[in-house]
Structure 1
Amino acid sequence: MKNIFVDGYNVINSWPGLKDVKGYSFESARQELIETLSNYAAYKGHKIFIVFDAHMVSGSIEKREKISDYIIVIFTREGETADNFIEREVNRIGRKSEVCVVTSDSLEQQIVFQRGAVRMSSIEFYHEIKSVELKIKSRIRKKYSEKRHRLQDRVSENILEELEKIRRSK
């Protein structure tokens, strides 16, 4: 299973639709990001760690919330940035398993690359997400159209002939 670490606020500030939401709040943007990534992770089978900075929150301790088998949301502890957390985790597992880090911070990209992770910018990830969303919609549309049943598939031939006579007589 591929592990993806997402710098949450970096992505929120980079993606159209998240930073420009009417009535924008960090909470609503976080929730929308989590929902979007949940669909992506379930479709691709990746485990995604969404990391949000809480380093400026006085007295904050690290908080982890398992949203599903695929999504874990992390709020860093006081004094620790999302970058610090991601670097530490990549150090721990970067060369043992497949890891991708999503951030547009070029210095962070270089650091995690040196530690064994693949890097992807927030905008590249946005386009990857949009591509997968189109695939999901296409698959749903295809399944829906396969389940459609026409009347002529369910009615005997003689009844169809009678219905056709009625239709023509009007």
Structure 2
Amino acid sequence: MRRREDVLLVDGYNMIGAWPMLASLRDNQLEDARDRLLEMLADYQGYTGMEVIVVFDAHQVPGTGSTFSQYRITVVYTKEKETADACIERLASELAMRSRDLYVATSDLVEQHVAFGKGALRISARELLINIQQNRKAIEKSMDYEMKTRNELNNNLSLEVKTQLERWRRGQT
């Protein structure tokens, strides 16, 4: 899942309900849970290079729906009388191509089967969370390695600069 042209469609509220750290936020601070989900997916997108599209269910809210970008992720609020599942199915049909992989992240079994029928690969909420956590560990491990590696200035300076610095150190002009 690391090709630049791959796309991940995420059922936003499904992830919020399935991931323990977001489910605890959901009851009192739904907007904070959405923001935290988007932050986690933005990190995932940055690490994997996949295009991430998150769909939130707004079918009971009057309006035409909206699409915007947040953290370089495409966020879709469904139209009135359109469920997130229907929107994901529509997007899966539009985005399905042989030249890239399309993944649908949801724990809704029926939606997984429909997405699979549209040519998408399915990922459960649990699998996506595990992938995100593993990526986070890999990032932290690489940052630890970089911090432990010596970055000596001496190896990066030209002979002229080293000579001039040595003259200054000795008080010569």
User: TM-score, normalising length from structure 1?
Assistant: 0.81
Structure 2 counterpart of 1:161: none
CA gap of 1:68–1:20, structure 2 versus 1, over 3 A, is: closer
Unaligned runs of 5+ in 2: 153-173
User: What letter matches 1:8 in structure 2?
Assistant: G
Aligned equivalents of 1:67, 1:77: Cα separation in 2: 19
Query: Is 1:99 matched up with 2:93?
Result: no
Match of 2:135, SS state, is: helix
Structure 1 counterpart of 2:124: 121
User: What letter matches 1:94 in structure 2?
Assistant: A
1:35-78 residue CA offsets vs partner (Å, 9 max, x unmatched): 011011001101100100010002x2221111244x11111111
Aligned-pair distance for 1:22?
8.7
The percentage of counterpart residues that share the same residue type is: 33
1:95, 1:115 within 8 Å by CA — same for their partners in 2?
A: no
1:95, 1:117 within 8 Å by CA — same for their partners in 2?
A: no
CA gap of 1:15–1:22, structure 2 versus 1, over 3 A, is: closer
User: TM-score, normalising length from structure 2?
Assistant: 0.80
Match of 1:144, SS state, is: helix
Task: Name whichever of 22-31 and 106-115 sits farther off.
Answer: 22-31
Aligned equivalents of 2:83, 2:25: Cα separation in 1: 25
Unaligned runs of 5+ in 1: 150-170
Aligned-pair distance for 1:147?
4.2
Runs of 4+ in structure 1 over 4 Å off: none
2:19, 2:126 within 8 Å by CA — same for their partners in 1?
A: yes
Q: Number of paired residues?
A: 147
